[in-house]
Structure formats: C-alpha cells, structure tokens
Amino acid sequence: MIAVEQIEMSHPFYKQEQDLRNRILLRPIGLPDHGWEMDDHKAWHFVAVEKDAVVGCVILVPLADRGAQLKQMAVETGNQSRGIGRMLVEALLTFAKTQRLQEIICHARDTAIPFYLKSGFEIYGEPFLEVSVPHHHMRIPL
C-alpha cells in the first residue's frame, strides 16, 4: 500500500527524499547532488511511502499573498505511471486548503505539463528556460 505523509526535515524519510530528488531531478540534467535544497527549511514536505521506502516526493513553499509554489516533484523511475504523482498533488492541495492558501503555482518542465494539466493546473505566461530545461508557468486556484 502507498501512503502520502507530511514530514519534517528531522524525519528519517527526509534523507530518502533528498536521495530521490538527486537521482530523479538533479543528476539527469547535470546538477550537483543537494543543489536545490535552499527552500527546504521553509517548505512543507510530502512523501509517498511504500514498504518503508520513499517512492515519491514534493514540497510546497509558501509565497507572499497567500500563495505557494509546488517544487521538487519526483516519483521513482520504476514507480512512475502508478498514480503516485497524482496522490502527492491531491495531498498537497488538500493541505493547502487547510492553510487557506489561494493559489499554487509551479515551474513545470515541459515533459511534465500533461501530468499537471490532468491534476487541474493551467498554463499561464510565457515559456522559459530554467537550468537550460524548457518550462512553462502553471497554476491552480484553490
């Protein structure tokens, strides 16, 4: 069974979250391990867990004006297309509503846009490059 948990950085699953992000998000585009942890201390962390192993993760970083940014969304390669990403986004959106947040934005890699569209996000603004990877701005009002 897969369950989504919200964790603190002191939780042992945080190390697995870091490992997952290194393998799925950073190394494939040539970034150093632990290169995108600057927002971790102020973020809410969500992990998908199966048999005590973190198989997916995402963080939510609060912004000004009751908004927040979804970041660092990753699902273990062998576990993609099993609905884990969707479970993570649903848990994050449910949590965001309890915080009375009004909008979630994200910088979506173009390859992940169909996934975010299916989760209810919409594209806005102009396309852009982030660490040389094509992205679009996406958002979902709450």
Ligand X SMILES: CC(C)(COP(=O)(O)OP(=O)(O)OC[C@H]1O[C@@H](n2cnc3c(N)ncnc32)[C@H](O)[C@@H]1OP(=O)(O)O)[C@@H](O)C(=O)NCCC(=O)NCCS
The residues of the shown chain that bind ligand X, judged by CB under 6 A, are 24-25, 73-75, 80-86, 108-109, 111-112, 114-115, 118
**CA distances (Å), 53 to each of 4, 18, 120, in order?**
11, 13, 28
Q: How far is the CB of 65 from ligand X (least distance, A)?
A: 23
Nearer to ligand X, 10 or 126 (CB): 126
Cα angle, residue 54 at apex, residues 41 and 138 outer, rounded to 5°:
60
**What residue is closest to ligand X based on CB?**
85
Nearer to ligand X, 4 or 7 (CB): 4
Please report the sign of the dihedral spanned by the C-alpha atoms of residue 72, residue 76, residue 80, residue 86: negative
Q: How far is the CB of 100 from ligand X (least distance, A)?
A: 25
Nearer to ligand X, 47 or 84 (CB): 84
Q: How far is the CB of 114 from ligand X (least distance, A)?
A: 3
Nearer to ligand X, 51 or 100 (CB): 51
Q: How far is the CB of 73 from ligand X (least distance, A)?
A: 4
Nearer to ligand X, 10 or 76 (CB): 76
Cα 90 from Cα 4, distance rounded (Å): 10
